[in-house]
Amino acid sequence: MLAVVQRVREARVVVAGETIGAIGAGLLVLVCAERGDTQAQADKLLAKLLKLRIFGDDAGKMNRSVQDIAGGLLLVSQFTLAADTSGGNRPSFTNAAPPDEGRRLYDHIVQQARAAHPVVQTGEFAADMQVHLVNDGPVTIPMRVPPDSAGAQ
C-alpha cells in the first residue's frame, strides 16, 4: 500500500461541481493499492496514519497525532501513486492493483477508518476529482507498507 499524507488546515474533494468530502484541520491521505496488496497492509497503513505524530504540541514540536487533535481524515484513492516512470516519458501503471482489487482495499481502509476515528471523509473511487487543500507547514510525507512487513506492528 502506498500513501501520500498531507497535514492540512482544510481540504475538500469535488466531483462534478459538488463537494463530496471535506475536513478542517487533519490529514489528507492519497491512497494507492498495488498488485498483491492485502487487507493486513491496509490495516497497518491505517494504524500508522492514526498514530503518525506530525501535529504540533504546546512547544511546537511534532508530537501529536490526528487522533490527539481530534482532526479530520480525508481518504482519496489515487492509483497514479504506483506510476513507474523509469521506461520513458509516459508513466506505466502496471504496479497499481486492478480496479476491482483497488476498490476492495480502498473500501476496506475507509470502513476501518470510520470504525476507529470519528471524522472520516472520502473522495469517490475512480472518479474525476478535484482536490483542494491548504497544506499546513507544508508537511507532506510519503508512506509505503510493503507486503513483508504487513504483519508487524
Of all residues in the chain, what percent carry a pLDDT higher than 70? 96
Name residues whose C-beta falls within 8 Å of residue 111's C-beta, 6 or more positions apart in sequence: none
Q: Which of 6, 78, 121, 122 is catalytic?
A: 78
* Cβ contact 7:135 at 8 Å: yes
Q: Is the pLDDT of residue 35 over 70?
A: yes
Query: Is residue 80 annotated as a catalytic residue, yes or no?
Result: yes
Residue 24: per-residue pLDDT: 98
pLDDT tens-digit readout, 41-81: 999 999 999 999 999 999 999 999 999 999 999 999 999 99
* Cβ contact 2:77 at 8 Å: no
Q: Which of 107, 102, 132 is nearest to 21 (CA)?
A: 132
Which domains, ranges and CATH numbers included, belong to the chain? 2-138 (3.50.80.10)
Residue 147: per-residue pLDDT: 80
Produce one character per residue of 64-87: b if its CB has 16 or more CB atoms within 10 Å, e if not.
bbbbeeebbbbbbbbbebbeeeee
**Helix, strand, coil fractions of the chain, as percent rounded to 5:** 25, 40, 35
Q: Is the pLDDT of residue 151 over 70?
A: no
Q: Which of 79, 112, 121, 122 is catalytic?
A: 79
Which grid coordinates are listed for 28? 489528507
User: Could you check whether the bond before residue 138 is cis, i.e. omega within 30 degrees of 0?
Assistant: yes
Q: Is the pLDDT of residue 149 over 80?
A: no
Integer Cα distance of 25 and 73 in angstroms? 9
Residue 86: per-residue pLDDT: 95
Query: Is residue 67 annotated as a catalytic residue, yes or no?
Result: no
Q: Which of 19, 80, 94, 130 is catalytic?
A: 80
Integer Cα distance of 66 and 85 in angstroms? 33
Residue labelled with grid coordinates 498488485: 35
| Mean pLDDT, rounded, of the chain | 95
Report if pTM > 0.75.
Answer: yes
Integer Cα distance of 70 and 80 in angstroms? 29
Query: Is residue 140 annotated as a catalytic residue, yes or no?
Result: no
